[in-house]
Amino acid sequence: MSALLGLWPEVRDTCTSLGLMLSTVLFVGLARVVARQQLHKPTAHGFVLEFIATFQLCCCTHELQLLSEHDPAHPTWTLTLIYFFSLVHGLTLVGTSCNPCGVLMQMLLGEMSPEMGAVRLLAQLLGALASRYCIGALWSLGLAKYHFSERSLACKHPIHVDLPKAVTSEAICSFIFHSALLHSQEVRSKLRIHLLAALITFLVYAGGSLTGAVFNPALALSLHFSCFDEAFPQFFIVYWLAPSLGRG
């Protein structure tokens, strides 16, 4: 009984984190419904959907990163959550990319106009920054023992290898993911979502110890904003340039 009582605070904190992520998903889902009903201009509709989709992805990833740091001895649990929430994002954020590399790829393939591409890129940038400040405000409430606002402000120095290896890691992850995204268009949507979620989980497992395996410039900006401020050239090359060049 004492052992169970000793585990209770950790279980409670984990449930709090899961509750925050699922609440974010529900909030964004409601916002998507309202946007579809109220916004009829394609530009405004596309901007809002991309903004809230990027917001959801970044907020959930902030919390997942926090869970992985809090319990590094059990990576299987973290990878399971990554797979689960990758499925959730795939099911709930249909029609958005949440990734500037995806927008650039669509523009190069002629599937999106430059004007709409610029609008979506701006929405992703603002969504990434908004998520950072929102998650900081939530953490400052101290809902879990490892929630405090300073976590969102300090640079965690996620690059654990030299610059060439870091660039190669992010570029390869981006290339593999976007190649799979491009060549799985004909696969049934339900199966495709599972395959992409499994691929994301594998890439995080394979490259997480090197750079975090972000392969998403908007997400990297939200996660490592302070690092960009401290060492902009290095983080620009690794987290913005490398994924963009490796998008296939």
Supply the pTM of this predicted model.
0.91
**Eight-class DSSP state of 144:** S
Q: Within the chain, where are the H helices?
A: 2-38, 42-70, 75-92, 100-108, 114-139, 150-153, 163-183, 189-207, 217-223, 225-230, 232-236, 242-245
Q: Are residues 40 and 142 in the same domain?
A: yes
Q: Which of 90, 123, 147 is the last residue of a domain?
A: 147
CA angle 62, 211, 229 (to 5 degrees): 70
Q: Exposed e or buried b for every residue in 7-34, given b needs 16+ CB within 10 A?
A: eeeeeebbebbeebbeebbeebeebbee
Residue 111 burial (CB < 10 Å; 0-12/13-18/19+)? exposed
Q: Are residues 131 and 218 in the same domain?
A: no
The reported pLDDT for the residue numbered 163 is 92
For the chain, how many residues are written? 248
Q: Are residues 185 and 138 in the same domain?
A: no
Q: Are residues 138 and 181 in the same domain?
A: no
- Among 1-5, 59-63, 180-184, top mean pLDDT goes to 59-63
Q: Which of 147, 178, 193 is the last residue of a domain?
A: 147
* pLDDT higher at 25 or 154: 25
Return d(Cα 190, Cα 90) in angstroms, integer: 9
125, 218 contact by CB (below 8 A)? yes
Considering its fold, how many domains does the chain have in total? Answer: 2
Tokens for 51, please give them. 């903004």
Q: Is residue 212 predicted with pLDDT exceeding 50? A: yes
The pLDDT tens digits of the residues spanning 93-134 come to 988 999 999 999 889 888 899 999 999 999 999 999 999 989
Q: Are residues 142 and 32 in the same domain?
A: yes
Q: Is residue 73 predicted with pLDDT exceeding 70? A: no
Q: Are residues 132 and 174 in the same domain?
A: no
Q: Which of 83, 113, 147 is the last residue of a domain?
A: 147
What is the average per-residue pLDDT within 70-75?
68
3-state secondary structure of 104: helix
Q: Are residues 3 and 51 in the same domain?
A: yes
- 153 in any annotated domain: no
Q: What is the extent of the structural domain holding 13?
A: 1-147
* Residue carrying the six token digits 């395996």: 213
Q: Is residue 4 predicted with pLDDT exceeding 60? A: no
Q: Indicate the average pLDDT of the chain.
A: 87
The pLDDT tens digits of the residues spanning 196-209 come to 999 999 999 998 88
Q: Are residues 62 and 169 in the same domain?
A: no
